[in-house]
A = this chain, B = another copy of it.
Amino acid sequence: MAEAIFQTFEQKATPAQGAPHLKLLRAELKARGLDGFVIPRTDEHQNEYVPASSERLAWLTGFMGSWGMAVVLADTAAIFVDGRYTVQVREQVDVHTFTPEHLIDNPPEAWLEKHLKAGQKLGFDPWLHTADGTKKLEKACAAAKAELIAVDTNPVDAVWADRPAPPLGQIVLHKPAYAGEDAHTKLKRIQSKLAAQGADAVVLTDAHAVAWAFNIRGGDVGHTPLPLGFAIVPREGKAELFMDGRKFSNTVRDAVADMAEIAEPLALDRALERLGQSGSIVKFDGASASNRLVALLERSGGQAEVGIDMIALMKAVKNNAEIAGSRAAHARDGAAMTRFLAWFDREAISEKLTEIDVAIALEGFRRDTGVLKDVSFPSIAGAGPNAAIPHYKVSTESNRRVERGIFLIDSGAQYEDGTTDITRTMVVGPATPEMKDRFTRVLKGHIAIDTAVFPKGVSGAQLDSFARKPLWEVGLDFDHGTGHGIGSYLSVHEGPQRIAKTGVTPLEAGMMLSNEPGFYKAGHWGMRIENLILVEKRDIPGAEREMFGFDTLSFAPIDLNLVEPALLTVAERAWLNAYHAKTRAIVGPHLDAETMKWLEGATREI
C-alpha cells in the first residue's frame, strides 16, 4: 500500500493528556507565584503553521485546530475556539478539564473578567501575543483588579518533558528565475517606503515577509517552506537577519551575507534596544509582531508604529516570473489532478477506498511529477457527511469509506515555481436532482467570480456576493469566504487581499486569489469548486476606468455528472466548455494517452 510522505493521519494528541498536563502546569504556576496563564495556539510569528516545539496548546489540551486559546486558573480552565472548531474541540479535548467556550460569544477577556479575582496575577508569554491582543488581556485584568505579568520563559516549556527542539530547517536561496526580483531590489523598495513614510526602520516579524524580502526558503514548519526568523530593515544601511546560524550552509550564508548582517535570534533584543536608544520611529506589522518586541522598543525610548504590514502588499502583487512559474506549476499540478481524477473515477465505484487512501493516492500523483516539495496543506478529503465540514481534516479516527454519493477533495502542492490549491467535488454513482441543483448553483457562483470585470479600487469584499447570488436565490448560502490570497512557493493563505466580506484591500493586477464557493448540507454532503485566479488588466473598448478581470490559473475537469445544464445560461455553458477545452490544451501535453482519453470524455461539450 502506498504511503503519504507529507501528510499524517494519526492524532498526535489525545483528550486524556489534558488532566495530567494541566496538573503539571498548575504546579509550575504555583511555584512561580502566578494564579493563571494564557496559552494561545500561536508561535512567536503568529503563524498558521507552527513548529512542533510551539504546539503548546496541543500538548496541554489535545486540541489540534489552527486557532485556539486556553486560559488556566487555579480552580478552572477553559479553551476558546471559533465556529470552525466547536465540534472538533469536543472530540479532541477533555471537556471536564477544559470547558470549551466560543471565541466570539464568550471571548477570553470576558471570561477572565468574570473568573479572575482582585489581586490575582495572570501570566502571559509576551512572545505569543500581539500588541492588540495584550491590550485586551490588560483591560480584562484591570476590570478584575488583577495583575497581568509578562513571563520571561514559558511555564509550559518548563513542564513539557519531551518538548521537541526548535526546528533547524536548512535555508535555501529562492531561485532568481522563480523570484523574479533580486533581494537587493526588494530591500531598496522597502527602504524607499520607509523614507516616504518618515520611519527609520521596519521589523519583519512575519516569517513569510522575511522569506520574501531576502529570497530565501526553509523547512521549519510543515507545508510552507518557511525559515523562521526576524529581520530589521533600516531606512539606510544594511539589513539585519536574525536566524539560527545552524540553518545556513556556507554557500547560502555567503549569498545572504551579501545583503544582510546575519545575527543569532538573541541579538534581536540588542538591536531593538539600539533603535530605541537612538529615538527611532520603527514600523511593526500589527498582525504578527509580538507584544514583547514592540514593548522592548518602546521601553528603550523608540517610537513604535504598529499597523498594516508594509511587505504584505508588495508580496501580494506577483511579478512576471512568479506568474510564469505559477502557470507552469498549475499545468503540472493540473495533470497530477487529472490523473488522480481518472483513477478516482475508475476505483471509487468499488466502494472500497477510504478518505485516507484517496489523500495518499493524490499525494502520490503529485510526487510522480518528480518536483513536489510538499503538499501546501493537509488534504481535506471528505466522503459524504465529512464533506459537509468545510475545514475537515481526515484522521485514522474520522476516516470514512468512500461510498456512492459525494466526495470532496481540497488539496494543494508546493513546487519551487509556485504554490497550488484546488478543490474538486465528485459524485460516485448517480447524482440526485438536489445534488445537481446545488452543485450547478455553486458552479454559477464560481463562474460569476471568474468572469467578473471591475474597476481599479474595487476590493474582494465588493465581489464576494457574486459567488453567493445563485444560492441566495433559493434561500441558501455558505459560511466561509469565497477566496483567499496565495503565496509564491510560500503560504497557501496569504493576505491582505481576500474575496470575502472582510476583504477590503483593493485588488491589483498581479494578485492571486482562490475562487471557492461551496454548499454544505450538514450531516449529508458538501461541495466546493476551487480554482486559483490572477488579477489582470482588462482592455475594454470605450472603458472610462482602468478595468481588471481574472485569468484562471487552475485546470482540471469539473465533474459533469453534477452539472444540470438547464440551470446554466448560454454564457455559463460556454464558459464551462471553454474552460474544459483549455484544460485539455494546458494539461493534455503532460498526460499519457489513456488519461488523455479519459480527460476527453470528462471534458466533453455540454
Contacts and interface: CB of A to CB of B under 8 A. Distances in A.
Interface of A: 452-455, 458-459, 461-466, 469, 472-477, 501, 540-545, 547
Given A453-B473, A476-B543, A476-B544, 19 more contacts: A453-B475, A454-B472, A455-B472, A455-B475, A455-B477, A459-B501, A461-B501, A462-B501, A465-B465, A465-B466, A466-B469, A474-B540, A474-B542, A475-B540, A475-B541, A475-B542, A475-B544, A476-B545, A477-B545
- In order of increasing CB-CB distance, the 3 nearest A-B pairs are A475-B543, A475-B540, A462-B465
Given A453-B472, A474-B542, A543-B474, A463 B465 contact: yes
Contacts of A543: 474-476
Contacts of A476: 543-545
A458 B461 CA distance: 12
A211 B472 CA distance: 37
A247 B379 CA distance: 71
A545 B476 CA distance: 6
A223 to B, nearest CB: 32
A116 to B, nearest CB: 18
A476 B462 CA distance: 16
A466 B465 CA distance: 8
A544 B475 CA distance: 6
11 contacts: A453-B473, A454-B465, A455-B475, A461-B462, A462-B501, A465-B466, A472-B547, A474-B540, A475-B540, A475-B545, A477-B544
Majority DSSP secondary structure for residues of A touching B: loop
Contact of A461 (B461, B472, B540, B542): B461
A87 to B, nearest CB: 18
A461 B547 CA distance: 20
Nearest to A521: B544
Nearest to A437: B542
Contacts of A477: 455, 544-545
Contacts of A541: 475
Nearest to A538: B475
A466 B462 CA distance: 9
A459 B461 CA distance: 11
A476 B465 CA distance: 20
A475 B464 CA distance: 19
Contacts of A473: 453
A527 to B, nearest CB: 15
A223 B473 CA distance: 39
A98 B136 CA distance: 45
Contacts of A474: 540, 542-543
A477 B452 CA distance: 14
Contacts of A464: 462
Nearest to A461: B461
A505 B165 CA distance: 48
A138 to B, nearest CB: 18
A157 to B, nearest CB: 39
A469 B451 CA distance: 11
A526 to B, nearest CB: 13
Contacts of A465: 454, 458, 462-463, 465-466
A541 B437 CA distance: 15
A545 B477 CA distance: 8
A113 to B, nearest CB: 12
A535 to B, nearest CB: 14
Contacts of A461: 461-462, 501
A285 to B, nearest CB: 23
A463 B461 CA distance: 10
A475 to B, nearest CB: 2
Central interface residue in A466, A477, A543, by most chain B CB within 10 Å: A477
Contacts of A462: 461, 464-465, 501
A567 to B, nearest CB: 14
A474 B538 CA distance: 11
Nearest to A451: B473
A452 B547 CA distance: 25
A498 to B, nearest CB: 14
Contacts of A475: 453, 455, 540-545, 547
A474 B539 CA distance: 10
Central interface residue in A453, A465, A542, by most chain B CB within 10 Å: A465
A542 B474 CA distance: 7
Contacts of A455: 472, 475, 477
A31 to B, nearest CB: 38
A371 to B, nearest CB: 39
A205 B348 CA distance: 67
Nearest to A455: B477
Contacts of A547: 472, 475
A543 B475 CA distance: 4
A547 B453 CA distance: 28
A501 B503 CA distance: 11
Central interface residue in A463, A466, A472, by most chain B CB within 10 Å: A472
A272 to B, nearest CB: 25
A606 to B, nearest CB: 22
A13 B296 CA distance: 57
Contacts of A501: 459, 461-462
A439 to B, nearest CB: 16
A140 B452 CA distance: 42
